[in-house]
Amino acid sequence: MNTSLEGLLKSVINAVYIVASRRTTTKLAAKTLSSVLDTLKSRYTFFQQVDIGDELCYGDDLTIHLKQDLSSVDHTEIAHAIESLIHLVYDDITEEAGMYFVTEMKNHLDPPLLNDIGLVGVDLDQIQIEQHHAFLQRKKKKGSSETGEKENILGYSWKAVSRLEYKPNERSVELYDKNGEVLDKIDLEQAIKNYVEVLSGITETDSIRMQEIIKNHEKEYFFLKLIYEDKVDLDHAQKMMNITPEETTKIIKRLVEMEMLRFASEDTVEITQTGREFISK
């Protein structure tokens, strides 16, 4: 392993926070993460030594303090702790999590770190498949109306907001209370998306946060586009994109995981209906 267990755990916690904060607000992401860590402390005692601090939830990354040497902790226990953390945070932000929570996590982490996470025993691909399934099941069940008042999971209301400050470089808005303290930070793109969905009653834009996917999977998108529009063969696609056979294999694997491609036979892939709809939109 190239990474210490402490460094690995901190990187995973930070990646979970980063992806969650893109889905919700930074405050809710930090609250959710803190709550999940508290829940897991009785099962994984090393989580008792993790300190993320409330004042740290407004930047891009968390400054995470881990006050325990993990060298004596069994790798299996570390793996189970990481898997539980990802599952619980994902479940906590439910609809906002979307299908590609783990995909974005993997994009945020460096390849050597991803390799070390696998060596510890964490199967991110399996978690990704489970979350895809959970998302699609929730979508099928959606439509049953809820009754009763909803809990205020933010912990503040609009009345508590004293002023707004636009951050042009980050394309976000910070909310301040009457004491000048930061209440929350909201990504404008996500806020506008939610606004349009609420007013239109159409939530198909979650199918699949197209701009995010194109941004995070540029090569995959271009490869899929070539197959969709030009019906090119594999060799032609590789030459046009100037990629190696190894890179091509990885791109195909990711597109299959994202259900954009499927194997028609052992050595043949074809674009799925999801892939066609994505490209046509």
State pLDDT tens for residues 217-236.
677 878 888 777 765 667 77
Phi then psi dihedrals of residue 81, to 5 deg: -65, -45
3-state secondary structure of 44: coil
The pLDDT value given to residue 261? 80
pLDDT class for 83, splitting at 50, 70, 90? Answer: very high
> pLDDT at residue 205 above 60?
no
> Within 13 Å of residue 276, how many CA atoms lie on the same side as its CB?
6
3-state class (DSSP) for residue 242: coil
Q: Give 280's pLDDT tier (boundaries 50, 70, 90).
A: confident
Q: What is the pLDDT of residue 207?
A: 47
Q: Degrees (nearest 5) of the Cα angle 164, 53, 123?
A: 105
Mean pLDDT of 124-130: 84
Q: Counting beta carbons within 10 angstroms of the beta carbon of residue 270, is it exposed (0 to 12), middle (13 to 18) or buried (19 or more)?
A: exposed
Quickly state the pLDDT bin for 201 (edges 50, 70, 90). Answer: low
pLDDT at 142: 58
At residue 25, the 3 state secondary structure works out as: coil
Residue (of 209, 206, 213) closest to 139 by Cα position: 206
Give dist(CA 102, CA 93) in Å, integer.
14
Q: What are phi and psi of 106, to 5 degrees?
A: -65, -35
Mean residue pLDDT across the chain: 77
The share of the chain scoring above pLDDT 70, in percent, equals 75
Given this model, what pLDDT does residue 176 score?
92
Residue 163 contacts residue 184 (beta carbons within 8 Å) = no
pLDDT tier for residue 82 given thresholds of 50, 70 and 90: very high
* Tokens describing residue 251: 């791109």
Q: Which residue has the higher pLDDT, 122 or 63?
A: 122
Across 160-170, average pLDDT = 88
216: pLDDT confidence band, cut at 50, 70 and 90?
Answer: low
Q: Give yes or no for residue 139 having a pLDDT over 80.
A: no
Tell me the mean pLDDT in the region 66-82.
Answer: 84
> CATH topology for 217-280?
Arc Repressor Mutant, subunit A (1.10.10)
25-66 pLDDT, tens digit each: 788 888 888 889 888 888 888 888 887 765 444 446 666 777
Q: Which region among 46-50, 97-101, 230-234, 256-260 has the lowest average model confidence (pLDDT)?
A: 230-234
- Please compute the mean of the pLDDT values over residues 4-21 and round it to a whole number: 88
Q: What is the model's pLDDT at position 269?
A: 76
* Secondary element (H or E) of residue 49: none
The domain ranges of the chain are 5-140, 157-206, 217-280
Summarize the confidence of residues 259-276 as an average pLDDT: 75
Query: Quick one: average pLDDT of 131-135?
Result: 72
